[in-house]
Amino acid sequence: MVRKRRPKLAVWKFASCDGCQLTLLDCEDELLRLAGQVQISYFPEASRAIVRGPYDLSLVEGSITTPHDAERIHQVRRASKVLITIGACATAGGIQALRNFKDVREFLSIVYATPEYIQTLNKSTPIADHVFVDFELRGCPINKHQLIEVISAFLHGRKPNTPPHSVCMECKRRDIVCVMVAHGTPCLGPVTHAGCGAICPAYHRGCYGCFGPKETPNTNSLSARWSHLGVKEQDIVRAFRSFNAYAEPFRKEGEAHDRA
């Protein structure tokens, strides 16, 4: 019998903190087994070896923020049979998308003495704004178990099981008392995509939206509830403008309250 060729895996980085690709190395119990299932062909954070493409599976971390990267993502797409984005930067523009609400030239002069040296785009945008993406894995950072699920789904040619419901469902399943109902703590859980395992409520704090909007979120209703709890308009704006600020439902809700 002919042994099947191991699929080639590539891991690419754009503007990001490296946390989502680190999640792969944080799979301490699974990493070596995974390395036996795929051929890790391009993963600079872990290896100086480079195997030429095309790649069967590309994991893409980070958002597009420079003219050079806006070109490079097309090369990555061309070299990839399946392209999966990992994390809030790649799926929603990340924390660096906070620039999208401001004038980036002002930002440059705050951080750099000689802004002329810096090349940057006005906006930080998700990968799907530039190329076709086969699947998006949410989270800031992504969840280790979901990453393994996505990779193994790919290896077996099936659809990944990453449910699009809200964090509230995870709270209920873990038997965590609702922090908003019981303690009046503002929580983004009702509009936030599941995947983290509802860790914030488990640690007695409100969800702050790392996983971005759930499927069909009612952000408007949640904001009304927050106002009821005494949260000020500007605080609502900031709550929606964090790690997934440029994801459409969060962006719109932020704008609706930003009428200063």
88 half-sphere exposure, CB direction, 13 A CA radius? 30
Looking at residues 9 to 38 of the shown chain, list those that interact with another protein (rule: CB under 8 A).
13-23, 25-26, 28-29, 31-32, 35
Site for another protein contains 208 (CB under 8 A): yes
Q: Exposed/middle/buried for 236, CB within 10 Å: 0-12, 13-18, 19+?
A: buried
- State how far Cα 70 lies from the chain centre: 18
Site for another protein contains 102 (CB under 8 A): yes
Candidates 178, 199, 231, 256; binder of another protein (CB under 8 A) is 199
Which residues are bridge partners to 55 per DSSP?
Answer: 80
Pairing of strands 55-61, 80-86: parallel
Site for another protein contains 69 (CB under 8 A): yes
Site for another protein contains 106 (CB under 8 A): yes
Pairing of strands 8-13, 135-137: unpaired
Q: Is 8 helix (H, G, I), strand (E, B) or coil?
A: strand
Site for another protein contains 182 (CB under 8 A): no
Candidates 112, 172, 224, 255; binder of another protein (CB under 8 A) is 112
* Element spanning 200, H or E: helix 199-202
Token digits for 253?
């809700």
Candidates 96, 146, 166, 244; binder of another protein (CB under 8 A) is 96
Sorted by sequence, the CB contacts under 8 Å of residue 250 that are 6+ apart come out as: 92, 209, 212, 213, 219, 240, 241, 244
Point out which span in 1-9, 76-84, 109-117, 213-221 binds another protein (CB under 8 A): 109-117
Point out which span in 91-99, 127-135, 166-174, 216-224 binds another protein (CB under 8 A): 91-99
| CA–CA separation, 153 and 150 (whole Å) | 5
Q: For another protein, give the closer residue by CB, 139 or 190.
A: 139
φ, ψ dihedrals at 194, nearest 5°: -70, 170
Q: How many residues bind another protein (CB under 8 A)?
A: 63
Q: For another protein, give the closer residue by CB, 201 or 213.
A: 201
Binding site for another protein (CB under 8 A): 13-23, 25-26, 28-29, 31-32, 35, 40, 43-50, 65-66, 69, 94-96, 98-99, 102, 104, 106-108, 110-114, 117-118, 120, 140-141, 196, 199-200, 202-205, 208, 210, 235, 238, 242-243
